[in-house]
Structure 1
Amino acid sequence: MGVTSRIDESKRIVTIAVDGRFDFAQHKAFRDAYKDVDPRVMKFVVDLSSASYLDSSALGMLLLLREYAGGDPSRVTIGGCGDDVRRVLKIANFEKLFTLD
């Protein structure tokens, strides 16, 4: 369980993977995954394929990442969502704020 990140310099993509519950307990690890990355150069992919749950604090963390990346929906992609996670993101209208893959 937790948050891991992988930087692909050649593709200019930072992949942040969340495993297990995506809630406030993951806040520091999620922030640490991107805080030292130049958002003008890199794009972000949040891999939720192993996330079993997300709550309102997770939605807030995704919004903070979006703001950090400059607010452009194409700069942050949320991918690998299971049915339950995708349902929460759709209820919150995140498909208008992010690229959902």
Structure 2
Amino acid sequence: MAISREEKNDGKSVVIHVNGQFDFSVVQEFRDAYTDCQGKEIVVDFRGTEYIDSAGLGMLLNMQSFLNKKEGDIRLINTMPQIKRVLVIARFEKKFIIE
């Protein structure tokens, strides 16, 4: 599976792990990972991500909107240099905390 989910802190936070390619092929899988996460802290872990495209960027924005999160409420962690470069070019550091 390209997307996996891990509950932390007695269900108060969720870590979504993205493995392989973060593109249109995982839209539904990614959506399923966060649909019941209202009111929880969200972290997206890109440790195993090799590639992200505009569909992946759109999925992050859709998640932020669906969960009604403010700018900076969602953390994107373990971004490889090639993933971080795409996020910075798209100016996602203004919408997310990128670590």
TM-score, with length taken from structure 2: 0.93
Matched residue, 2:19: 19
Matched residue, 1:77: 75
Task: For 1:63, give the aligned amino acid.
Answer: L
Question: Please, what is the CA RMSD of the aligned residues?
Answer: 1.3
What does the per-residue CA deviation read over 1:31-70, in whole Å, with 9 as the maximum and x for residues that have no partner?
0001122x2x201100001100000000000001111222
How far is the alpha carbon of 1:73 from its aligned partner?
A: 2.3
Runs of 4+ in 1 over 2 A off after TM superposition: none
Task: For 1:90, give the aligned amino acid.
Answer: V
Q: Which runs of 5+ in 2 are unaligned?
A: none
| SS of equivalent to 2:72 | helix
Query: Equivalent pairs: percent with the same residue?
Result: 34
Q: Which runs of 5+ in 1 are unaligned?
A: none
- Equivalenced residue count is 99
